[in-house]
Amino acid sequence: MFNYYLGLALRSLKRNIVLTALMIAAVGVGIGASMTTLTVFRAMDNDPIPQKSRQLFAVQIENWGPDNKSIVPGDEEHLQPQISYIDAVGLMNAKAAHRQSAMYKTGAALTPANGDLLPFQVQIRAAYTDFFSMFQTPFLVGGPWSADDDKNHADVAVITQKLNDKVFGGGNSVGKSINLDNHEFRVAGVLGTWAPTPQFYDLNNDQFGEGAEIYIPFTRAIDGQMQSWGNNNCNNDVGEPGWEGHLRSECVWMQFWVELPTAADVAAYRTFLSNYAADQQRSGRFHWPAHTHIRDVREWLVYQHAVRDEVRILVLVSFSFLLVCLLNAMGLMLAKIMGRAGDIGVRRALGASRRAIFGQCLIEAGVVGLAGGLLGLALTALGLMGLRSLLSEEVGRLTHFSPADITIAIVLAVLATTLAGLYPTWRAAQVQPAWQLKAQ
């Protein structure tokens, strides 16, 4: 029966080729526009570490007090998105979580061993060894540095495959050394491709970028007086001059992540943080009962507005556009079906039930939807290409079509068009055979 209806639908669509083309074009353009923006939206809204996003938490402490607004719009607890060095050290020493790492973005000049080559700039992330196990970074060779290296402020580094290719021409470089700002660092491991998008652990800069090329122990970076290359926010109290003064200040420039595998761990860590803040108040550092907060990866992305407003606006606009396209297709379908009232009347008179007419017309709508969806896919590919050329490299990186997007496009097209076809189809089923036959 389905095949018969399909045949009927195709024949009917062929009979009024202009209306059919208009309908397919309308659905196609609508799907193309909405899928283009949806692809970018989904990439921004992506869960960068799905297997663990509910067990990893960003830590916040209200170290500026209630007189200072948060730089995060809408945060009523005056929490800053980063923490101070004082708190980074306090929380690291407490070791109250299953795994934990303070971290910050920095950078240096890398001087290649080959003297003919010029030094070049590298982005560095200073972190603790737990960073790698916590975020499950894939190692090609070697592995993270040890907890002892953290303790000893050791000159060790983990580098990315890309940097390994550039500096060592690929291969196993574990044990070799790289020169960062005139200091030699021993390579402990080489990371495979690892670029969680968005870069959830530090959303301050380059949210959709490639991340650091080199990782070194946090303690070593502090020893080397390596400044933050990310955001450094201070309230008016910037502390004493010099590096030591900066470390003792309430400036916030670090991220702090913990891994808490169970609900009990989460509850325990919350209690620990409240106690930590209360201790700071007792010691006289805070003159207020400080809020503390932990947010898991998904909550953190929402809190930090990882999806840009521009993209939300584009999604809104393009889906409204899709709605207009569907209304359009619906009007055309209505016109088409009512133009065929005579046919339908004959079929009804010959014994077709209302259900049969309904089914037949709905399949016709579905065929239009499918064709529109395919056209939409082609237009989406074109649209994404357009976006890549129009937008910055960082956002352009988010314009890649996944197989899931293709499914979404086709399902959306067929469903939406069938939905839009419901009313015209219902009208078709209402056709009174007697009237139509009389008019003939």
One residue of 225, 262, 275, 407 binding other proteins per CB under 8 A:
225
One residue of 312, 352, 356, 422 binding other proteins per CB under 8 A:
312
Which region among 88-96, 196-204, 261-269, 386-394 touches other proteins (by CB under 8 A)?
386-394
- Pick 7 or 339: Cβ nearer other proteins: 339
| Single-letter residue type at 170 | G
Angle at 295 between CA 292 and CA 301, to 5 degrees: 130
One residue of 119, 142, 209, 433 binding other proteins per CB under 8 A:
119
Minimum CB separation of residue 42 from other proteins in Å reads 17
Binding residues for other proteins restricted to 237-276, rule: CB under 8 A: 238, 240-243, 245-246
Asked whether position 175 contacts other proteins by CB under 8 A, the answer is no
- Pick 263 or 439: Cβ nearer other proteins: 439
Q: What is d(CA 65, CA 84) in angstroms, rounded to the nearest whole number?
A: 13
**What does DSSP say about strands 183-191 and 214-217: parallel, antiparallel, or unpaired?**
unpaired
Which region among 95-103, 117-125, 254-262, 406-414 touches other proteins (by CB under 8 A)?
117-125
One residue of 152, 232, 274, 281 binding other proteins per CB under 8 A:
232
For residue 264 the two structure tokens come to 């009990």
Asked whether position 384 contacts other proteins by CB under 8 A, the answer is no
C-alpha radius of gyration, the chain, whole number: 30
Asked whether position 314 contacts other proteins by CB under 8 A, the answer is yes
Residue 13: C-alpha distances to residues 325, 347, 410 (Å): 18, 17, 19
- Pick 183 or 400: Cβ nearer other proteins: 183
Q: What is d(CA 41, CA 280) in angstroms, rounded to the nearest whole number?
A: 41
Q: What is d(CA 389, CA 318) in angstroms, rounded to the nearest whole number?
A: 19
- Pick 49 or 325: Cβ nearer other proteins: 325
One residue of 9, 24, 26, 83 binding other proteins per CB under 8 A:
26
One residue of 1, 284, 392, 403 binding other proteins per CB under 8 A:
392
One residue of 142, 196, 261, 331 binding other proteins per CB under 8 A:
331
Asked whether position 17 contacts other proteins by CB under 8 A, the answer is no
Asked whether position 330 contacts other proteins by CB under 8 A, the answer is yes
Q: Which residues contact other proteins (rule: CB under 8 A)?
A: 19, 22, 25-26, 29-30, 33, 71, 73, 109, 111, 118-121, 181-183, 225-227, 229, 232, 234, 236, 238, 240-243, 245-246, 309-310, 312-314, 317-318, 320-321, 323-325, 327-328, 330-332, 334-336, 338-339, 386-387, 390-392, 395, 423, 427, 439
